[in-house]
Structure 1
């Protein structure tokens, strides 16, 4: 069982948090308010919850389970999604809960959660902001996805990436906005999506798929025997 405890500055004064565990995260959930910034750095895709079948959005940072291709010395050089920022923290009954079994707390070189005077450290303030982004953003994102689904705008994408070692990687269960279906909508429906802010998100999402080629190139360049 996880060691979930209410966050307390006295009890957790010596707890330190590290970003090193980002190296094992190949995927992170994102909310609609993150699409614009996240799409600059990562492929933004939709996928389904294995238990409920509901769509949710996320970013791809690696092509294989447990391997992040974008970290540099354990840190992401670009935008860090809120789902990563809040690793090891949750909100329950308006209280912040900490899971001390999370790998984010296992590194000795982490940063403290609290200052010597008991005030939240800059790292903890980032966590608090991330929790706020997710708390507000999850229902908003469900609403966005609901509108896309209602107009039948999400379609599966087949991703097969080939590498110099002759061993392709196939990414299953991913969805994207269909621009063909979007452009075929009646003007009134497009206007509704525009006023809701969904059009910007749709175009950000579809354009970000090109980052898959960047991830494939990074992986290919790291294969044994690859040219320096």
Structure 2
């Protein structure tokens, strides 16, 4: 990784290849999803809760059943109405940086110059000839803002869900027509029954904060497992 602060002087001719493919790191069976994306993501993918390496809860979307399998990805690209922001961001990230006067750190866009999407002769320009941000880079900036805001919300959201006892482990067992079965270990969801039992001040807090809707989106998304199975079945039929 060769991550540097993006600027329109050093990177005036930098381009980024849009689109999706295995060569760009999109052949994955899960992707991080953030609360700022739940509404769009729940229409496409199952949203599961897992623990990260530090033991903190995080949400992921299930994209495939086998290792390195993204059932939404084929030779034409990523076939879904919504692509998770962590995949849309490509080689870009946000890092907090202080100015020379030592003021409050500001989020600044960084780019990984070693990323396979980065090019000097193909893809979308980042800057206009006069030096302003291109429409593509403006879109990247919005995506990074969505990630930044989602990360700010995620920790407190799961802490409140846990405080109310809403997070429960689930057994996800998927069986295909050919007899193949998949078990997803160490996954959690929001308990519909426990959520329905929340009353009074806690219910008001959930509602006012938007976390009630987020919880319902997680629950509703589990219906997409059927679609994932159908995608897997179609892919196996094509490969047979």
Counterpart contact for 2:93–2:111, Cα < 8 Å:
yes
**Are 1:3 and 2:2 an aligned pair?**
yes
The equivalent residue for 1:126 is: 139
The equivalent residue for 2:17 is: 17
Determine the C-alpha separation between the residues in 1 that align with 2:116 and 2:69: 15
Give the secondary-structure state (helix, strand or coil) at the position aligned to 2:111.
strand
1:40 Cα offset (Å): 1.2
The equivalent residue for 1:190 is: 203
Give the secondary-structure state (helix, strand or coil) at the position aligned to 2:4.
strand
- Deviation digits for residues 169-228 of structure 1, max 9, x if unmatched? 22222211001112233433222212222111111110111111101111111114789x
CA RMSD of aligned residues (A): 2.3
The equivalent residue for 1:138 is: 151
1:121 Cα offset (Å): 2.3
**Are 1:31 and 2:30 an aligned pair?**
no
- Deviation digits for residues 87-141 of structure 1, max 9, x if unmatched? 2211222321111222333798532323333332222211111111121221212
Moved more, 81-90 or 69-78: 69-78
Counterpart contact for 2:14–2:118, Cα < 8 Å:
no
Give the secondary-structure state (helix, strand or coil) at the position aligned to 1:209.
helix
1:172 corresponds to which of 185, 196, 204: 185
Q: How does 1:41-60 map to 2 (within 5 A)?
A: 41-50=44-53, 52-60=54-62
Determine the C-alpha separation between the residues in 2 that align with 1:56 and 1:180: 21
TM-score (norm 2): 0.83
Counterpart contact for 1:42–1:59, Cα < 8 Å:
yes
Structure 1 portions without partners, runs of 5+: none
Q: How many residues are treated as equivalent by the alignment? A: 225
The equivalent residue for 2:65 is: 63
The equivalent residue for 2:162 is: 149
Determine the C-alpha separation between the residues in 1 that align with 2:119 and 2:179: 37
TM-score (norm 1): 0.87
1:75 Cα offset (Å): 2.9
Counterpart contact for 2:15–2:121, Cα < 8 Å:
no
**Are 1:213 and 2:215 an aligned pair?**
no
Structure 2 portions without partners, runs of 5+: 98-106
Counterpart contact for 1:157–1:174, Cα < 8 Å:
yes
1:54 Cα offset (Å): 0.2
- Structure with the largest fraction of strand: 2
Determine the C-alpha separation between the residues in 2 that align with 1:22 and 1:11: 26
